Amino acid sequence: MKSQALSDLIARTRSCRRFRQAEGIEMATLRELIDLARLGGSARNVQPLKYLPVNDPARNEAIFPHLGWAGYLKDWPGPPEGERPAAYIVCLLDTRLAKEAGCDLGIATQNILLGATVRGLAGCRIGSVSPTLGRRLDLADHLRILQVLALGHPLEQVVIEPLGAEGDIRYWRDPEGVHHVPKRSLDELIVAAGAGE
Ligand SMILES: Cc1cc2nc3c(=O)[nH]c(=O)nc-3n(C[C@H](O)[C@H](O)[C@H](O)COP(=O)(O)O)c2cc1C
């Protein structure tokens, strides 16, 4: 893969919160995405993450009310019926293997979201998950929900913006429904040696 192609893939892998709900995602595809997570790095190579793939309408409906959507969009309670995720991957910590997941979760979810993008899909990490979801899904006691990945065929356009002069990092949606995500500039991120002295 050319480096430009990799940059484009990463830039296109944006959080998406509105989907063509009627277009499903096969269980085989969810398994392929989880296999990408499997190949990611893991602290001490413990690999304590487990995954629950869900793609049936009844369980999708059971999961949805437990999720918090786009905290900065105060007037938007989340995607309406018809624009909801077609599938989820519930990311779990196997507490028999480790007490915390460290960086593994970020690596795993990024691999999944990159894999979704190349398949024409999109998704969003949902860290805002109600503590009652585990019971609703009848999970074994040793499995702790860390995050839920919402997945589907994208319905919304997401664009990256430079941060405004006032430095506001909040994403916003314009009247046409395009979702704008401010990102800090490269120069702001790179620290000169000895800058703290
Ligand atoms: C650890 C983590 C947790 C997140 N939790 C939520 C969430 O609960 N609800 C939501 O709508 N978005 C959530 N997001 C998505 C962020 O809002 C999103 O990454 C951010 O706005 C930047 O957009 P981008 O992913 O397109 O770069 C989460 C992202 C991360 C990395």
Instruction: Encode pLDDT of 109-148 as tens digits.
Output: 999 999 999 999 999 999 999 999 999 999 999 999 999 9
Please tell me the predicted confidence (pLDDT) of residue 194: 81
Residue type for position 112: I
Tokens of 111: 């691999």
pLDDT at 188: 94
Please choose from 64, 117, 124 the residue to mutate so as to test ligand 1's pocket, defined by most ligand atoms within 8 A of CB.
124
Percentages helix, strand, coil for the chain, rounded to the nearest 5?
30, 25, 45
Coil, helix or strand at residue 132: coil
> What's the CA gap between 154 and 176, in Å, rounded?
16
pLDDT at position 165: 85
Residue ranges in the chain modelled with pLDDT below 70: 196-197
Beta strands (DSSP E) in the chain are: 49-54, 87-94, 122-126, 143-152, 158-162, 172-173, 179-183
Sign of torsion, CA 150 153 156 161? positive
Report CA(29)–ligand 1 centroid distance (Å). 22
**Ligand 1 center to 114 CA (angstroms):** 15
Residue 197: its pLDDT value, please? 56
- Residue in the block written with tokens 């830039």: 11
Determine the distance separating the centroid of ligand 1 and the alpha carbon of 13, expressed in angstroms: 12
Cβ 125 under 6 angstroms from ligand 1: yes
* Cβ-proximal residues to 108 (8 Å cutoff; 6+ apart), any chain: 37, 40, 49, 91
Hey, what amino acid is at 50? K
Q: Is 101 in the pocket of ligand 1 (CB under 6 A)?
A: no
Helical residues (DSSP H) of 64-170, grouped into ranges: 104-118, 133-136
Considering only CA atoms, which residue is closest to atom 7 of ligand 1? 126
- For ligand 1, mutation pick of 72, 110, 126 (most atoms within 8 Å of CB): 126
CA of 53 to the centre of ligand 1 (A): 20
Match 């949902």 to its residue by tokens: 126
